[in-house]
Amino acid sequence: MRPRPSAIVVALSGAVAAAAETFDVPSNPSVSGQPLDGFVSYSIEFSSFPDYAGNLSHPNTYSYNLINNIHAMSGHYPVFRVGGNTQDFALYNASQTTALIGVVDPRKSPDYPTTITIGKSYFESYATWPGVRFSHGFNMGLGGKTPQGRETLVHTAPLACEALRRGNLYAWEYGNEPDLFTTGPYAPRPEGWTETDMAAEWLAGTDVIRSQVKRHCPELKVDLMAPSNAGVSNALTASNMWASGLNRRRDIAIFSTHNYIDGAKVPGVTLQGTLMNHTRTRLSVDAHVAEYKTVFETARPAPPLVFGEANSLYNQGRPGLSNTFGAALWAVDFNMYSATVGFKRVHMHQGTNYRYQAWQPVATDATAIGTKAPYYASMAAAHMTRRVGRSPVSISSIRLSSDAESAYAAHYAPRAGDQSRPRLARLMVINMHGYNTTLDGAGLEPLPDPPQRTVRTYKFRVEGVADGATARVHRLAANGSDAITGITYDGWSYNHDLDEGRAVRLANVTVGEEIPVTRGEVAVRVADSSAVILSFGHPC
């Protein structure tokens, strides 16, 4: 289906206007807001990785086209973490020729298999995306509990290191969300299993990984991503894991934590109140920062802080919420706010048939192959965090007046020897006030007479930008917050049906807008349920 004409064009020319406020842009952004290269990254469910990447004889070129779009926009490839719940179900079968065989038990999860065997060909998938780095998730759930699990660790570590020894290694991960190992329908540990027990098992398992890597791939380091906990308020905590000696070997290179704003099956979850709500996002992210600071009050040095897995609603998302344009606006806000408070990379989680996925990599009985709304959030975030020349940017938050809106600034440092202040590269405004154009907000059947769309004007004092300079406008747009198709970023579509995910410029979307800076201020109009990036003084 080709996208409908961009709603943003209609909104700006004929909708209800809202009064403008003026906001100050920080002139000295915090260094903590400087993300790592490849800030916009992904986490792929372990059982879904062969679908997303393919294999040597049949690589998934559609996925790679989408990855290359992010590389073109940000200047860097996204980094992929291969893991999730299913890494802790995966057992190795040396005689299996198929990459992965999985059995779904709906009583445990209808969305992914909970009985899994992998063969040697599983590791071919790591060779299908040139330029991309990966972390590989090893099975701790069974690896530290059963003989077959321990054998799997011994046999797969050499296969993983062989697959990741050509400059494509990011990190190793042992276990997914061990803070939940004593809860849920398939808890791999009994009640009473403590952080001390966890640390002892983790050290024993990572010693096996280290010895196997040293034996088979001696040039590779064993840099670990841990503790990979599900949250900050579960029975087992990162601070107690750390105090129990988790980093005794001094090989944890990345502090990884996971975040979901709420649950797909939790009553009362809504698009406007849960996802399109900056305060909700801010409080959720801040809790992880507080945990990180608590852990490293005494444990030094502190490794970089990342979201190793994150997305909108746990349990793989909910239709009509996680797959909508409103969820894309949430994802931009989540990524940008995370950058401002010190997160160096965000891995957005996805899997085959998941409702919050950025793209569906293959056609199944449940879901058609295609690019989903959250992917467009990745493109906008990739643009916002792009370097200026060789200079990385630092992201700062600009507090606006409503829960349903947020703004961010990207500054870059002057060249060496230049004593001037950091320079403004980009401004982003995210207007999350809801605007729906379909019945029941489900993104399917259009309203016969949709309401007028409010346009809000945002003014910013932009210190250091000369009067008469212009800002280039890049819009993230759709027909409404409930839209699941017809989404564009700066007039580009990444639909599978147009050119297999490659960027296609749509003729029916206005692009190339420019806004002048007058008396030290810039004003931009942003329709409800849309976002905009203003770029100053350079092409991007």
Give me the residue label for tokens 């290191």.
161
Please tell me the distance from the alpha carbon of residue 142 to that of residue 111, in angstroms, as a whole number. Answer: 20
The CA-based angle 456-260-60, given to 5 degrees, is: 95
Catalytic site includes residue 309? yes
Q: What is the CA radius of gyration of the chain?
A: 23
CB 137 within 8 Å of CB 176: yes
Amino acid 104 reads V
Query: Which of these is catalytic: 124, 177, 291, 309?
Result: 309
Compute φ and ψ for 28, nearest 5 degrees.
-125, 85
Please tell me the distance from the alpha carbon of residue 169 to that of residue 58, in angstroms, as a whole number. Answer: 22
Q: What is the longest distance spanned by two Cα atoms in the chain?
A: 72
CB 121 within 8 Å of CB 55: yes
3-state secondary structure of 327: helix
| Burial of 151 per CB tally in 10 Å (0-12, 13-18, 19+) | middle
3-state SS, one letter per residue, for 27-50: CCCCHHHCCCCCCEEEEEEHHHHH
Query: Which of these is catalytic: 45, 173, 177, 195?
Result: 195
Catalytic site includes residue 195? yes
| N-to-C CA span, the chain | 29
Please tell me the distance from the alpha carbon of residue 211 to that of residue 202, in angstroms, as a whole number. Answer: 14
198-211 burial: b if 16+ Cβ within 10 Å, else e: bbebbbebbebbbe
Compute φ and ψ for 155, nearest 5 degrees.
-85, -30
| Burial of 283 per CB tally in 10 Å (0-12, 13-18, 19+) | exposed
3-state secondary structure of 484: coil
CA distance to 123, 431, 477, 527, per residue, from 14 (Å): 54, 18, 16, 11
Using CA of residue 378, residue 379, residue 382, residue 383, what is the dihedral sign?
negative
Helices (H) and strands (E) in the chain, counts: 10, 25
Helix (H) or strand (E) holding 294: helix 278-295
Amino acid 150 reads R
Report, as residue numbers or ranges, the catalytic residues: 195, 309
